[in-house]
Chain A
């Protein structure tokens, strides 16, 4: 498992630079917002957390179809599925998701404070948004694993993965944004939506790999 993790991280960092494209896309989405809503700094500060979340969600969805596609192209996915009598396939997928998250999503979380400055957000709001992104984005990757596994045998599954995953990620978005606002605005609570967000991540850490394993197995035979 450790070897698989290191292999996936190395592949993600070296081959094709998918991580860099994700950050650039995130940057582009955030840079487009002021053009769309106008350079009103007060308005930008108010919608900043939501825009960071939406940008991160879209950037995460963008890279998801690569999760199993590359492995399927060179045949190592079949090896991973065949090895499932020694390692649980769900555990393998969890490790792959973790590696994918570290390579292509963690940079987004690290870049989000800088982009928060662009949106004229307060320090507390920036910190809260980065923290909720850190806790919430693994859930998006884990839900995405189901979509990527379901669509792995399709020739052009990339857009389809985004379409079928997006409805399921809406709760993550809702609680992530409400926790980010809760840290700044006074009457809204921070802890309750934050804990629900953590619970969603843990829930999908179980359900996502199991469902993805079932889908991969059915696509293999």
Chain B
């Protein structure tokens, strides 16, 4: 009971942008350092992973392609949770989080598509096929761009926050479709092999570097997300201060 209270208390503490900024400022160097460390280890492990007997060294594209694809979905999920935060709990930082996450998620989705395309050319013999997984991820990319366009189209952040939140929640339908597209439809993209019932089908020599890389890129996402949120808060403060300055300057000339 008391634990729950203190937990909600901490969430409310974070709602204060100033306190959030100080926490983020303290956490960022550690998070960034950890990200570099884990990514370096993951990079070293993936360079030392054995070549596949069929795919040769192209199998190593997996070590960046799979984390990008996971993160593109995780980022949208985080944005949906933030959208719920805007609409239901009215958390003041929720829309900052959603707005900051959208461009990062779009970049991760684009990177997943590009690395997948580079992997597809030697393996499938084509840069692009319109199968269910690729199409649904492409739709996810378009949705990110639509959300970014909507956030940038309105000048009042409070108003655009709610509109974007509603659009984000409606678009969340796509996430389960992406996740299960390889199981529902018989596609060229291989079915899930890491996270599935009955354990992973991946050999440990590939699984370990992949997991380390996934953790590294997740840390990278959170580092970038925190930095983007900090920038967004500062940008709003600058706008607010400019308005105050403009108003007081106006008053000064009149009197």
State whether A150 and B150 are in contact (beta carbons under 8 Å apart), knowing that A167-B143, A215-B162, A218-B163 are contacts in the complex.
yes
**B171 contacts partner chain A, Cβ-Cβ < 8 Å:** yes
Interface of A (DSSP majority class):
helix
Counting chain A residues whose Cβ lies within 8 A of the other chain, the interface size class is: 20 to 34
Residues of B within 8 A of A149 (CB): 166
Within 8 A of B (CB), among A139-170: 143, 146-147, 149-151, 153-154, 157, 160, 163-164, 166-168, 170
A168 x B163 contact (CB < 8 A) = no
B150 x A214 contact (CB < 8 A) = no
Interface of B (DSSP majority class):
helix
B149 x A214 contact (CB < 8 A) = no
State whether A154 and B170 are in contact (beta carbons under 8 Å apart), knowing that A215-B162, A218-B163, A219-B159 are contacts in the complex.
no
**B154 contacts partner chain A, Cβ-Cβ < 8 Å:** yes
CA distance A171 to B173 in the complex (A): 11
B150, B169, B174, B177: the one within 8 Å of A164 (CB):
B150
A154 x B87 contact (CB < 8 A) = no
**B210 contacts partner chain A, Cβ-Cβ < 8 Å:** no
CA distance A203 to B107 in the complex (A): 31
Question: B79 → chain A, closest Cβ, in Å?
Answer: 14
Q: How many A-B residue pairs have CB under 8 A?
A: 64
B150 x A167 contact (CB < 8 A) = no
A147, A154, A211, A215: the one within 8 Å of B153 (CB):
A154
**B101 contacts partner chain A, Cβ-Cβ < 8 Å:** no
Within 8 A of A (CB), among B131-187: 135, 139, 142-143, 145-147, 149-150, 153-154, 159, 162-164, 166-167, 169-171, 173-174, 177
Q: In this complex, what residue of B is CB-closest to A156?
A: B153
B171 x A153 contact (CB < 8 A) = no
Question: B113 → chain A, closest Cβ, in Å?
Answer: 14
CA distance A7 to B142 in the complex (A): 36
Per-residue 0/1 for A58-93: is the Cβ within 8 Å of any B Cβ (1 yes, 0 no)?
A: 000000000000000000000000000000000000
Q: In this complex, what residue of B is CB-closest to A150?
A: B163
A147, A163, A170, A207: the one within 8 Å of B139 (CB):
A170
Query: Could you jot down 6 A-B contacts, CB within 8 Å?
Result: A151-B163, A163-B149, A167-B174, A168-B170, A215-B163, A218-B159
* Residues in chain B within 8 A of chain A (CB atoms): 87, 135, 139, 142-143, 145-147, 149-150, 153-154, 159, 162-164, 166-167, 169-171, 173-174, 177
* Residues in chain A within 8 A of chain B (CB atoms): 143, 146-147, 149-151, 153-154, 157, 160, 163-164, 166-168, 170-171, 207, 211, 214-215, 218-219
> Assuming A153-B154, A160-B150, A168-B170, what are 6 further A-B pairs, CB within 8 angstroms?
A150-B163, A160-B149, A164-B167, A166-B142, A166-B146, A218-B163
